[in-house]
Structure 1
Amino acid sequence: MTGTEADAIILGAGAAGLMCAAQAGLRGRRVLLLERAGRPGKKILISGGGRCNFTNIDTAPDRYISANPHFAKSALSRYTPQDFLALVEDRGIAWHEKTLGQLFCDGSARQIVDMLVDGVVQTGGTIRCDQQIAGVDHADGRFRVTTQDGSFEAPALVIATGGPSIPKMGATGFAYDLARQFGLKVVEPRPALVPLTLGGEDVLFRELSGVATEIVARTGKTAFREAGLFTHRGLSGPAILQISSYWRHGEAVAVDFLPDRAPGWLVDAKRSTPRATMRSLLKDALPDRLAVTLAERLALEGELANLPDARLNAAAAQLSGWRFIPNGTEGFAKAEVTAGGISTAELSSKTMEAKRVPGLYGIGEAIDVTGWLGGYNFQWAWASGWAAARSI
């Protein structure tokens, strides 16, 4: 395909770009997909431990973060998890539901990539990899993209290059530079779904590296109940990754280490097992190393019978809301996704087209819509890619 034959040029052969290209092809559009990496779908391939958590059946707009919380509603309502699941089943890809609505391939993430790539190629689209973009221009209603292989032109240009999370995979902030070139505002990008780091007095918890337990993590009014994990740098695990997307520097993260215990449980334990100790009670409920550390921090020595109710209630309250003040995150290098991006105020929520630049689209992680952990970001890639494809 030469540039002049294309109806649309899509920059980025990740989840959103591939979906958009395949769906546009089904509508008879001739699509050219330009990818910087040596092969398409690299981030898909490493997702879900190599099995691709390709959607979440519990997808809903309130599970996405954006400066405009209503923006995602249109695309998500018009292209649902069931719609993508139909593609998967039509392809004969075996899948299973893990936990919390997360759907995975039984086999390999490669099956999802192959399905999408075949969808592009079989509808006449072209994928060019190893493309280094030297420039993007716009004149007379046409976009011109120049790479080392030449110049390509089309009346539509789709930005699907993602954000800077996982730079070792080749991720960059190119989408933002291009958006600014066309006068579009960008919401400051930041790492999301990322481990938090600890310093100060909390640094002692790093000694628990490798210890995991079910917790409720909270910041502000947001809370997640899943596994928490101590690392050599701080806190991780699904509950922490989830809360990291809402956390801001200087804020506390409260951790409930015993989410199934009622507020007065320690006083009740004193009545029923007066000779028990704080350490023994915690060891019954938590991993040994964590139980010992928390008991030492609470500094309640001896049998419960000898401890005042007020101190026991205070300890129970601390265990249900142990305050950590992270000193940062592990950054884009360890972030699963990027929050922020091309401002949704610049785009149509129905078509993903830039309001002030006809023919220019932004989809997927490149724009300011970020989902929860567990297949939500893939569903946004499918839905936003589909929405743009309906308009190209």
Structure 2
Amino acid sequence: MAILTDPFDVVVLGAGAAGLMCAAFAGQRGRRVLVLDHADRPGRKILISGGGRCNFTNIHTAPDRFLSANPHFHKSALSRYTAADFLALVESHGIAWHEKTLGQLFCDGSARQIVDLLLAECDRGNVVQRYDTSVTDVSHADGRFRVTAGERSWSAPCLVIATGGPAIPKLGASGFAYDLARRFGLKVVEPRPALVPLTLGGTEALFRELSGVSAPVIARSGPAAFTEAALFTHRGLSGPAILQVSSYWRKGEPISVDFLPGRDAGWLLAAKRNTPRAALRAMLRDELPERLAQALCDRLGAELMLPHDIGNMSDAALRKAEERLRQWQFCPTGSEGFAKAEVTAGGISTAELSSRTMEARRMPGLYAIGEAVDVTGWLGGYNFQWAWASAMAAALAL
């Protein structure tokens, strides 16, 4: 029989970004808080984020930069705890930072500074932390949740699920949050890898010869479009633009890549008039890395039976070539899965939660925050901002 320790007001499962943030500020509000995590130390995903410098938020945070079955759910939390709020917290700890691109904020030093910030805030709130603690059972009776790990057990009237999703399993990530949610009758939107490289097969596998080549593009999946770099890999496509569209992509659908984002429509027709003896391959080399230009030109030549000089190409053929370069379709065979995904899309259904407090509607005292919830941000600090905002929403309600 497990030995019951002193009861707490709140037990937080998960010592990642959302869990530590929630615990810290609930503790500072006078709540007796316990954090449990199966890992041997806190914030493991934080430590590897942003190339080790932690892209801790994005100054362009807005509701339309998040995916969810309910596109309105995250508005409340994000509006009440903003990127400016977290940045003020960062500065209050004397952490130097810089903006990289597209509003992404990074530590000048290392991601360890963000973990240390959260732990310092937990200390201010007298938060009790237990690591190397694998939860074996969670139950609810008489208005209290009882959490058991081996021979130890803790109880509290409030339980916060902050264990994230299954992305990056090598760090111990799993679907524990979903199993726990279902145990208490909460629905789960099917989890899937997001911000993940896509794989190619069949004739498209020929592009594997371009592994390591990158170029600025506009990548599209359905209505979503992102202007960033794409990277060819030995398995398919990656790079920021591809990771972004991967969150919107569904298996069986194509994605579209514009290899000429800096060129106006009719560019090749104008070039035919101005430099009729120019070779298409040479013109593409002026716009793209040489290996990519050659591969695309070879494909276009084979598909459209193009002659060497653009002056000998018909206007119709040039229009087709330009259209192909602007809307080059790839049909991914899949993704590289949770092992390579930066985050998880899907998760505990927002229909089950209060958008203001993150509390389960049908199970008072049960909260879910961060990546465990069906809210997924774009690449570039948005998922951290959701962690901070959802954690604070719960902390202020506990």
What is the TM-score normalised by the length of structure 1? Answer: 0.99
**Structure 2 residue 100 is matched with structure 1 residue 94:** no
Alignment partner of 1:126 out of 125, 128, 137: 128
Q: Structure 1 stretch 301-310 or stretch 368-377: which is displaced more?
A: 301-310
Partner of 1:282: 284
Partner of 1:372: 378
Alignment partner of 2:326 out of 320, 330, 344: 320
Alignment partner of 2:357 out of 342, 351, 355: 351
**What is the deviation of 1:99?**
0.3
CA contact (8 A) 2:21 2:392 kept: yes
Partner of 2:347: 341
Equivalence map 1:102-181=2 (5 Å):
102-181=104-183
Q: Separation in 1 of the partners of 2:200 and 2:258?
A: 17
Equivalence map 1:224-235=2 (5 Å):
224-235=226-237
**What is the deviation of 1:239?**
0.2
Q: Separation in 1 of the partners of 2:378 and 2:150?
A: 37
Change in Cα spacing, 1:121 to 1:148, as seen in structure 2 (3 Å) is farther
Q: Give 5+ residue unaligned stretches, structure 1.
A: none
Figure out how many residues of one structure are paired with residues of the other and give that number: 391
**What is the deviation of 1:3?**
4.2
**What is the deviation of 1:201?**
1.2
- Encode CA deviations 1:324-353: one digit per residue, 9 max, x unaligned: 000000000000000000000000000000
CA contact (8 A) 1:211 1:230 kept: yes
Q: Separation in 2 of the partners of 1:305 and 1:156?
A: 74
Which residue identity lines up with residue 269 of structure 1 in the other structure? A
Partner of 2:336: 330
What is the TM-score normalised by the length of structure 2? Answer: 0.97
**Structure 2 residue 312 is matched with structure 1 residue 306:** yes
Partner-residue secondary structure (3-state), 1:354: coil
Alignment partner of 2:255 out of 244, 253, 256: 253
Q: Structure 1 stretch 299-308 or stretch 358-367: which is displaced more?
A: 299-308
Which residue identity lines up with residue 333 of structure 2 in the other structure? N
- Encode CA deviations 1:104-141: one digit per residue, 9 max, x unaligned: 00000000001101111221111100011110000000
**What is the deviation of 1:149?**
4.9
Partner of 1:265: 267
CA contact (8 A) 1:216 1:255 kept: yes
Q: Separation in 2 of the partners of 1:26 and 1:125?
A: 9
Q: Separation in 1 of the partners of 2:121 and 2:220?
A: 42
CA contact (8 A) 1:9 1:33 kept: yes
Q: Separation in 1 of the partners of 2:6 and 2:179?
A: 25
Change in Cα spacing, 1:115 to 1:149, as seen in structure 2 (3 Å) is farther
Which residue identity lines up with residue 366 of structure 2 in the other structure? L
Percent identity between the two aligned chains? 70
Which residue identity lines up with residue 342 of structure 1 in the other structure? I
Partner of 1:54: 56
Q: Structure 1 stretch 261-270 or stretch 182-191: which is displaced more?
A: 261-270
